[in-house]
Amino acid sequence: MKCFNHDDRDAVGICKSCGKGVCRECAVDMGKGLACRDRCEMDASNVIALIDQNIQFSPVGKNVMGNMRKNTYVQASFLLVAGVIFLLTGMASGRLAEFPGLLGMVFLIYGGYMLWRGLRLPKQTQEQTRRSRLSATNRHSLNTDVE
C-alpha cells in the first residue's frame, strides 16, 4: 500500500480514524495506533479511548445481572409508592372499590411481584449452578459404579 498523501512512498500503517495508508512522515504514533498528522490525531485518540473503554467494560456478566436487579428494584419501588398513593387517594375519597383504589391495588400487586422477582434473580442462578454441579457429580459417580 502507498501513502495516501505521497504516491511514491510505501505506507507504514493505517490511520486508526480514517483508514488511509500513511507513510512514516505523515503518520503520528498514538501508542495503540497511527493517525494522519495534523488531520486525524484528535479523532484517532478518541477512537483509541473508546476501544480502551470497551475493553474495560467488556466482562459485564455480573454487572448486567446487578443492573437488572437494580432496575427491578427501582421499578418495584416506584410501583409500590404509586400504589400506596392511589390507595390513599381512594380511601380519602371513600371509594376504595372504584378506580383509584383498584388501580392502587393493581400497582401494589405488580410492584410486589417485581420485588419478588428481583429478589429471586441472583438466587436462582446460584441454585442452577449448584444443581448442575450436583448432577455432574452424580453422573460421575454413576459412571464409576458401572465400571
Can you tell me the distance from the alpha carbon of 3 to that of 11, in angstroms, rounded to the nearest whole number? 4
Site string for Zn ion, 18-57 (x = CB under 5 A): x----x--x---------x---x-----------------
- CA-based R_g, the chain, Å: 30
The verdict on 15 binding Zn ion (CB under 5 A) reads: yes
The least distance separating Zn ion from the CB of residue 51, rounded to whole angstroms, comes to 16
The residues with which 54 forms a beta bridge, in sequence order, are none
Q: Cell numbers at residue 92, please?
A: 380519602
Please list every residue from 97 through 136 that binds Zn ion, using CB under 5 A.
none
The least distance separating Zn ion from the CB of residue 20, rounded to whole angstroms, comes to 5
The backbone region for 34, taken as left when phi is positive above 0, alpha when psi lies in -120 to 50, beta otherwise, is beta
The least distance separating Zn ion from the CB of residue 133, rounded to whole angstroms, comes to 52
Q: Cell numbers at residue 86, please?
A: 392511589
Positions in the binding site for Zn ion (CB under 5 A): 3, 5-6, 15, 17-18, 23, 26, 36, 40
